[in-house]
Amino acid sequence: MEVLHEEMPFDLAFHPSSPLVATSLITGELNLFRYAAESQPERLFVAKAHKESCRAVRFVDSGKVILTGSADCSILASDVETGKPIARLEDAHENGINRLVSLTETTVASGDDEGCIKVWDTRERSCCNSFHCHEDYISDMTYVSDSNQILATSGDGTLSVNNLRRNKVKSQSEFSEDELLSVVVMKNGKKVVCGTPSGALLLYSWGFFKDCSDRFLGHAQSVDTMLKLDEETLISGASDGVIRLVGILPNRIIQPLAEHSEYPIEALGMFWPFSALSRFKNRMFSLVMYLCNAAFSNDRKYLGSISHDKMLKLWDLQELLNGQQAVNDDKLGEPDSDDSDDDGMDVDMDPSSSKGSRSTKTSKSQSLGRTTSDFLADL
């Protein structure tokens, strides 16, 4: 299933209980679609939510309200039935908002261009927590309910752990050589995985956030977004255009799942990686048709993706996992010499293709042996 937008979308979110999906556009517009199997999504409304680009969208209040965050520094609450504004925080941040994450039924977190994170009480419509430890844009956030903490990644190359009970930054990693673009918590909370522009996945052990414990070089290009499928596997989107199923510890590319288009993927999952305007201008032309975001539907039947080709696509997740989408995945990464030592990381090689290569070489050797013996016999 797919639908074409008039302008480029930045983010999408699925309704928590109904077959609805919302998208936010570069023009500041909010779109809501109803989807059903074997039919194209039906556009329910288009609303002008913000003056500037609408970068983030989430459902809150059990799906009754849609929250959007914008480059104009405002957060808007819209009615899911009509799309009409309910409440607006004009100066929610001092800088443009990149990310929105739902924490509980009544709290959400927002992150901006300059690294500020704020937590909002939707009932009181007020800020109840704020964290200022990053020096660049907030690229991604995830909520850990067991410890009531927010994990955030930033363009400054650090991962932060923000404690909501104490309203303080509990831990922050050392600066990485790369920006950190996305984050998921795996292995029943024991591992935190971050995507980077170089294609490496950085693995942090819980409680030891100063430096990563592992680096998985399975992607040839930037991994801008990830979705957690289960405790062992995640779905990644990289700038080579392929959506992949990735295993964590052991680290391996299990299989390519789909290709949104023939163009590189900028993000799959949770964010549009905005930073300062100068950085965006420098990257503009290389991002024209990149995949921008994706998410799971509430029943986890569909994987949604949006792209700079203005297309919203809803993939049947089971069909993807069963390998029913034909994907040419010939862009797998090569490990750097720095990380091919004894760190136990798996090399990004498809086991089947590797075996096939070895069998081909063997057959060629056997054929050469037979030819030589036949030639000697004739002599």
Is the model more confident about 306 or about 212?
212
The predicted pLDDT at position 210 comes to 95
Q: Please check the confidence at residue 116 and state whether its pLDDT lies above 50.
A: yes
* Residue 352: pLDDT over 90: no
* Average pLDDT over every residue of 86-101: 95
The dihedral sign for the CA sequence 357, 359, 361, 364: negative
Question: H/E/C letters for each residue in 122-185?
Answer: CCCCEEEEEEECCCCCEEEEEEECCCCEEEEEECCCCEEEEECCCCEEEEECCCCCCCCCEEEE
What span, in angstroms and rounded, lies between the C-alpha atoms of 64 and 214? 41
Which pLDDT belongs to residue 239? 79
pLDDT at 330: 57
Higher pLDDT, 186 or 264: 186
Predicted TM-score (pTM) of the model is 0.79
CA-to-CA separations, 132 to 100, 114, 152, 161, 168, in angstroms, rounded: 16, 9, 11, 12, 9
Q: pLDDT at position 363, please?
A: 38
Per-residue buried b or exposed e for 229-238, using 16+ beta carbons within 10 Å of the residue's own CB:
beeeebbbbb
Classify strands 42-48 and 75-79 as parallel, antiparallel or unpaired: unpaired
- Alpha-carbon dihedral sign for residues 162, 168, 170, 171: positive
Supply 366's token pair: 């056997």
Query: How far is the C-alpha of 134 from the C-alpha of 150, rounded, in Å?
Result: 13
- Reply yes or no on whether the pLDDT at 100 is more than 80: yes
Q: What percent of the chain has pLDDT over 70?
A: 76
Average pLDDT over residues 256-272: 56
The DSSP string of 189-240 is GTEEEEE-TTSPEEEEETTB-SS-SEEE--BSS-EEEEEE-SSSEEEEEETT
pLDDT per residue as tens digits for the range 203-233: 999 999 999 999 999 898 888 889 999 999 9
Question: Which is more confident, 330 or 153?
Answer: 153
The single residue listed with the structure tokens 């998921």 is: 184
* CB < 8 Å & 24+ apart, contacts of 350-357: 350/253
pLDDT of 124-171, one tens digit each?
889 999 999 999 999 999 999 999 999 999 999 999 999 999 999 999
| pLDDT computed for residue 223 by the predictor | 87
Q: Would the pLDDT of 324 be above 70?
A: no
- Per residue in 49-61, pLDDT (tens digit) is 999 999 999 999 9
Cβ 77 vs Cβ 58: under 8 Å: no
pLDDT of residue 262: 57
